[in-house]
Structure 1
Amino acid sequence: MHIELKGRKAIVTGSTAGIGRAIAEGMARAGAAVVINGRTQERVDTALREIRALLPEAELTGVVADVATAQGCAVLFEQAPNADILVNNAGTAFLNNFFDQNDNEWLELFQLNVMSGVRAARHYVPKMMERGWGRVVFVSSESGLNIPKEMIDYGVTKAATLAVSRGLAELVAGTGVTVNAVVPGPTNSEILSNWMKATAQEQGITQEEAEQQFLKTTRPTSLINRFATTEEVANMVIYACSEQASATTGAALRVDGGVVRSIV
């Protein structure tokens, strides 16, 4: 299968590192013009420079905007007013104690993990519907299905992302726009990889040993018995944004290594 996205403009929020960065690179490899988004000029410039070094002919632009805020989203929309493909990837997670958290911590995470995607979809999707073609992907997590006790807030936001994705797919039915969610499992993204590095240093073990320990204690249902790569997650996103995926919409596409014990 050859995926061709030439002539399409893709916006990937939170795309300076991790899964978002792999998605942006995959989009560029497929020929899309890609908007790289991050919160700092340094991070955006670094991502642009590194991807251009790999793909000299890629059409790339950068937008510095904190999409966790309405003001930041407005900056993104002003600098990149239109898109054929929208990947709502921006998000984060923090280990925490449910009983110690305050309201602001919950609301701040919700703003980034949920409302960034809501605002972006509200802006870009109507124009996709007018043109009769569009692709929207929300990057969720298996934590939205298996709520982690050490990150209940994160699990709630990722469950909300699944709900927004499905509801929006229902709303745009028959317009030529598809909306899907991608559900990664443990992945060597920037955040989780940094956690594993810190754990390894604290315990005097290798990062691979730390990852195996994590899987055995918190994700024992993994069928691949390893962390996924960011590229493996990105591959699913790229497919969902392709012409070949035109009959795939309203779905939660799992790239979780079999962590979720469900046949559907």
Structure 2
Amino acid sequence: MVATAVVTGAAHGIGAALTARLAAEGLRVVAADVDGDALTDVAGTTGATPVTADVGTVAGVEALVAAAHDALGEVDVWFGNAGIDRIGGLDSSEDDWRAVHDVNVMAHVRTARLLVPRWLERGSGRYVVTASAAGLLTMLGSPTYSVTKHGAVALAEWLSVTYRHRGIVSQAICPQGVRTRMLENASGLAGLLSRDSARTPEEVADLAVEALADDRFLVLPHPEVAGYYEARAHDSDRWLGGMNRLQRKLEDAGVLAGPGTGASV
């Protein structure tokens, strides 16, 4: 039975919606974010325990895991929901690559290092990654996001194949467009991300909580993504050609900059 949960990136968007839904289901929740002021508001309306932490750092992850154990005793499910993006191309800076990789990939690695040994001792635990359809497909205009979300899905897969027989469940939530600040900041790419209609954070949270009951690995708020993923695997060259045509179309429309510049316009 799942009785306790931690949600990272909990001050806004999907994280805030997850915190509210889990609390409504009767779970004791630790909500974490770097935005302490907004986090206080979420905690005030949900009853969650707020912990201001930067999961993009080793120290931040260690402090959050310790605080979660202090508050909850045991962590039944960890929602690694925090994520960032830096729109750009091959000219994205080393700092941008490092920042996105630390939050979108290494936060999960560092957290799992601390949680998994404890879960193995008791024979149960659940790690849920908020990845993206970009982690199954790709994201035009943002190699940092595409590469790191693929990495997040890959880690979730590895956790599943390595530990599922020992009671640890790993799941990956992979939406397309969700009505969050990230979508609002996507500028001309917002239409592309919402081509199959943007979901609300609350809709994604509902699906995530429902998935706790059936242990499915992929949680797809946009069911169409399953078809795209299958088409990509069935004929990679055809799929890549179609994506390249879309890239050129967006370049011609001025939504994406051309090769060699990397920045969106």
What's the TM-score, normalizing by structure 1?
Answer: 0.78
Partner secondary structure for residue 29 of structure 2: strand
Whether 1:76 and 2:73 are equivalent positions in the alignment is no
Contiguous gaps of at least 5 residues in structure 2: 232-265
Alignment partner, residue 252 of structure 1: 218
Cα 1:227–1:219 change in 2 (3 A) is: closer
Could you tell me how far 1:146 is from its partner in structure 2?
A: 2.6
Cα 1:135–1:83 change in 2 (3 A) is: same
Contiguous gaps of at least 5 residues in structure 1: 53-59, 200-209
Whether 1:32 and 2:23 are equivalent positions in the alignment is no
Could you tell me how far 1:262 is from its partner in structure 2?
A: 3.9
Distance in 2 (CA, whole Å) between partners of 1:146 and 1:171 is: 24
Cα 1:40–1:227 change in 2 (3 A) is: closer
Q: Is the 8 A contact 1:137 1:240 kept in 2?
A: no
Of the three residues 109, 120, 126, the one matched with 1:118 is: 109
Q: Is the 8 A contact 2:90 2:143 kept in 1?
A: no
Distance in 1 (CA, whole Å) between partners of 2:75 and 2:133 is: 27
Higher mean Cα deviation, 76-85 or 159-168? 76-85
Of the three residues 110, 120, 137, the one matched with 1:146 is: 137
- Let me know the Cα RMSD of the aligned residues: 2.2
Q: Is the 8 A contact 2:11 2:35 kept in 1?
A: no
Alignment partner, residue 87 of structure 2: 95
Alignment partner, residue 10 of structure 1: 5
Distance in 2 (CA, whole Å) between partners of 1:240 and 1:119 is: 24
Moved over 4 A (4+): none
Q: Which amino acid aligns with 2:5?
A: A
Q: Is the 8 A contact 2:156 2:170 kept in 1?
A: yes
Q: Is the 8 A contact 1:85 1:134 kept in 2?
A: yes
Q: Is the 8 A contact 2:86 2:96 kept in 1?
A: no
Q: Which amino acid aligns with 1:88?
A: G
Distance in 2 (CA, whole Å) between partners of 1:170 and 1:76 is: 26
Higher mean Cα deviation, 157-166 or 227-236? 227-236
Distance in 2 (CA, whole Å) between partners of 1:168 and 1:106 is: 24
Cα 1:219–1:46 change in 2 (3 A) is: closer
Q: Which amino acid aligns with 2:34?
A: R
Q: Is the 8 A contact 1:12 1:23 kept in 2?
A: yes
Could you tell me how far 1:236 is from its partner in structure 2?
A: 2.1
Of the three residues 180, 192, 195, the one matched with 2:183 is: 192
Cα 1:94–1:103 change in 2 (3 A) is: closer
Q: Which amino acid aligns with 2:224?
A: G
Cα deviation per residue 1:21-57 (whole Å; 9 max; x = unaligned)? 11111111111100010113212211112324xxxxx
Tell me the percent identity.
28
Could you tell me how far 1:194 is from its partner in structure 2?
A: 4.5
Could you tell me how far 1:15 is from its partner in structure 2?
A: 0.7
Cα 1:24–1:175 change in 2 (3 A) is: same
Alignment partner, residue 234 of structure 2: none
Q: Is the 8 A contact 1:135 1:240 kept in 2?
A: no
Alignment partner, residue 207 of structure 1: none
Q: Is the 8 A contact 2:86 2:100 kept in 1?
A: no
Q: Is the 8 A contact 1:37 1:64 kept in 2?
A: yes
What's the TM-score, normalizing by structure 2?
Answer: 0.78
